[in-house]
Structure 1
Amino acid sequence: MDLTSAADDEAFRTEVRTFLEESLRGDFGALRGLGGPGRDHEAVDERLAWNRHLAAHGWTCVGWPTEHGGRGLSLAQQVIFHEEYARSNAPARLNHLGEELLGPTLMAFGTPEQQQRFLPPIRRVEELWAQGYSEPGAGSDLANVQTRARLEGEPGAQQWVLDGQKVWTSNAHFSQWLFVLARTEPGSKRHHGLSFLLVPLEQEGVEVRPIEQLTGGSEFNEVFLAGARTDADLVVGQPGEGWAVAMGLLGFERGVSVLGQVVGFERELAGVVDLARTNGALEDPVLRDRLAALAVELDVMRCQAVRGLAGVTGGQDSAAGGGAASIFKLVWAAWHKRLGEVAMEVLGPDGLTARGAPYELDEWQRLFLFARADSIYGGSDEVQRNILAERVLGLPREPKGTT
């Protein structure tokens, strides 16, 4: 992938930057920096209005094909959009799971009817989605899903009836829909007999319980399904073949937005450096060396992300491309945790006390606490290493049931 600055791409960058500068004023300007990991509880209604403002001006689903309502931007232009969005400090978007994960999955595996029903509301940010994958006994081991679904009713009026529990379900408390991996073939094991279902959250039989985190937020949730229902035709792909759909969705998870994520990391690192310069911590040569190392590592991280995207552009999947997605997840999670630790060192004793009663944290305390989860959510470090070992290097599978 060539990310050199062609004239038309620079013109596009100017277009994006101008739109964001003109839009992030007044009420929308007050939303700068809100939301994001550990802070998704902030200004939900106001950020939703911002997201719909983006949609009204054609700035959602920018990488979707035009036939599905997107802008059909090139990969380089998608990267530019995400970089400029991050640099503007615009509020975190609420529609990531629908726009970046489910939408492309429906384009790849869904029926025309499913695409027509669900893609336009995603693009307009009228319906928000949550991900029903992890369970109390099947977090990193997704193939151990125990949530079950069965078909009930007369032919032509059948529905799936679901029973089970999902956990770590991001933003389920303000979403309207949940895509669910459920076991639909009795007696099936592991990745066999699973189906990928689209389930409305606003119904009897669904209970959402937010999980309060150390940061004070509660973006993660438990979701209890007790006789929850969805129409029989809201299965993506064939019943019993949901594993392939679920893995296809995860393949979309780490796309061009990762470079916007790197820009966000650059801003955080710059903030820690400024803090160290202000309070004198930068005079410590050891701490200064650690900050310099973080800066170098961040440059390497961006180069690695670009190389991974180049593999995708060349038609490679994660395994054929050297496991780029798994490598990147391992790298950025470890880096971000180290940044949080260095931020606490810069704060010194001040980092040990809340900024206000009863539990008001500053951005560096939140960074430190939430970054502890970076190596778990989105695929734990152990899972990523197994993917690299088994699917990329061809090593034997990890023995089960051993100590």
Structure 2
Amino acid sequence: MDFNDSPEEAAYREKARAWLVENAAAHRVEHGEPKPTTPEHMAAAKAWQARKAAAGYACITWPAAIGGGGGTPIQSVIFSQEEAKAGVSYGYFTIGLGMCVPTVMAFGDDATKQRFVSPAVKGEEIWCQLFSEPAGGSDVAALRTRAVRDGDGPDADWVINGQKVWTTGAHYCDYGIVLVRTDPDVPKHKGLTMFWIDMRDPAVECRPIHQMSGGRDFNEVYFTDLRVKDSQRLGAVGDGWKVALVTLMNERLAVGGSAGPDYRQVMELARGLPGVNGPALKDQAFRENLADWYVNSQGLKFTRFRTMTALSRGQTPGPESSIGKIISANQLQDLANTAVEALGEYGILTDPSLAPMEAAFQQSLMWAPGLRIAGGTDEILKNIIAERVLGLPGDVRADKDVAFKDMPTGR
């Protein structure tokens, strides 16, 4: 691994840093105001995305002809690092630009790409991903939302009925990609098809889910006779699983790291907390946990350096993102749980104006379990690493050759 920027990369970092110094201050949200998902916060996010796009800093690796920066993957990593330091990162566009629009670019026709890519890059339109279902759990291919042709011709419209759940941002998104079942007479992975849809269509109903953190980021989404044109199809009929894999790989890369406090913040907290014999930082059991978190953090840092080194050399990164998500999500949950317990009665406070460190540990404790599910559960990712990286035998799949309609339902 090479821990240092090359001369070209260092020059790009300085250029990006100078641009951020000049432009970021006017778009930075101070002290949590305005609140996320409010119209004011959304307007600030869109204004920042538009400014980045105009300067070539939005979707840096995409061709300039479609609104991207025409740059390299390592340049994208460098700008993201500097943008995070500048405190102007917004999350509204992560799913659309990191997962949905790349799928549209890979499988949509020319008219679809021309219509949607540039507005998404500029932040004018926001996308969501509609995969998970109540009866499917971690098994995306077990979905039951149906799409049926309304007519016999190859260009006949499709009618979608069913439900999705845990859809991030559905209530404020303009468009989405949806995976549906179009053929129940074949095994579950072979009867799927993907479409893009208009989230503002009256046949689409979004019901925000009230989270224990107080947020409403996720949604239940219901389709009642949603009519879509065949031109909205992404990929061939029945090829939806192949299309979905492209989206899922992008998703796992996007959630490979976890935001939130790390060992440094919990160490600082422990300096001022009373323990059995002095500050909690002097407690031996706590110090052992701290050492574990430090070792894991260093391992994650060097694993990310491996990814950056590969990108810097023009290579394709390996399976580091799957490993990183498993480690970082579990560590965030463990770290936050320990910190909240150490806070004693103050651990129940979730108001940032009252809780130590603006309730960062309380928020992380409520968010971490979801991070262990998003982008593939721990178990799914361990199977991927075992089977596709280590070459271990695959799990036994009794339903591999069973038509979806014949699968037991538990009724």
TM-score bin (small chain): 0.7 to 0.9
Q: Deviations over 1:287-340 (max 9, x none)?
A: 2342343223112112223335666777668xxx4x433222211211211221
> CA distance change for structure 1 residues 142 and 311 in 2, over 3 Å: closer, same or farther?
farther
Letter of the 1:162 counterpart: I
Aligned to 1:13: 13
What is the aligned partner in structure 2 of residue 66 from structure 1? 64
Task: Give the match for residue 404 of structure 2.
Answer: none
The unaligned stretches of length 5 or more in structure 2 are 274-278, 400-407
Letter in 1 for 2:190: H
Which 10-residue stretch deviates more, 108-117 or 205-214?
Answer: 108-117
- Unpaired stretches in structure 1, ≥5 consecutive residues: none
Secondary structure in 1 aligned to 2:22? helix
User: Does the Cα contact within 8 Å between 1:160 and 1:232 map onto a contact in 2?
Assistant: yes
Distance of 2:376 and 2:154 partners within structure 1: 38
The TM-score normalised by the length of structure 1 is 0.86
1:331-346 matched pairs, under 5 angstroms: 331-346=327-342
**Counterpart residue number, 1:50:** 48
Which residue of the partner structure matches residue 284 of structure 1? 283
Q: CA deviation at 1:200?
A: 0.4
Matched residues in 1 for 2:153 and 2:235: separation? 19
Distance 1:380 1:254, change over 3 A: closer
Match of 2:373?
376
Partner of 1:385: 382
Query: Residue in 2 aligned with 1:197?
Result: 195
Match of 2:346 in 1: 350
Q: Residue in 2 aligned with 1:24?
A: 24
Using the alignment, how far apart are the partners of 1:167 and 1:51 within structure 2? 28
Give the deviation of 1:6 after TM superposition: 1.4
Pairing 1:1-400 to 2, within 5 Å after superposition: 4-26=4-26, 28-31=27-30, 41=37, 43-152=41-150, 158-255=156-253, 258=256, 261=257, 264-265=259-260, 268-279=262-273, 280-308=279-307, 321=318, 323-355=319-351, 362-392=359-389, 393-400=391-398
Calculate the TM-score normalised by the size of structure 2.
Answer: 0.84
User: Do the aligned residues in 1 keep the contact of 2:192 with 2:241 (CA within 8 Å)?
Assistant: yes
Asked if the contact 2:59–2:76 (Cα under 8 Å) also holds between the matched residues in 1, the reply is: no
342-351 or 94-103: which moved more?
342-351
Measured in 1, the distance between the counterparts of 2:110 and 2:392 equals: 37
- TM-aligned CA deviation for residue 369 of structure 1: 1.3
Q: Kindly tell me: are residues 256 and 370 of structure 1, through their superposed partners in 2, closer, same or farther at Cα, counting changes over 3 Å?
A: closer
Moved more, 281-290 or 366-375: 281-290
Kept in 1: contact 2:60–2:73 (CA 8 A): no
C-alpha change, 1:304 and 1:22, in structure 2 (3 Å) is same
Quick one: distance in 2 between partners of 1:34 and 1:11? 34
Which structure has the greater CA radius of gyration? 2
By how many angstroms is 1:2 displaced? 5.3
Question: Alpha-carbon deviation of 1:32?
Answer: 7.0
1:256, distance to aligned residue in structure 2 (A): 7.4
- SS of the equivalent of 2:188 reads coil
Deviation of 1:80 (Å): 0.8
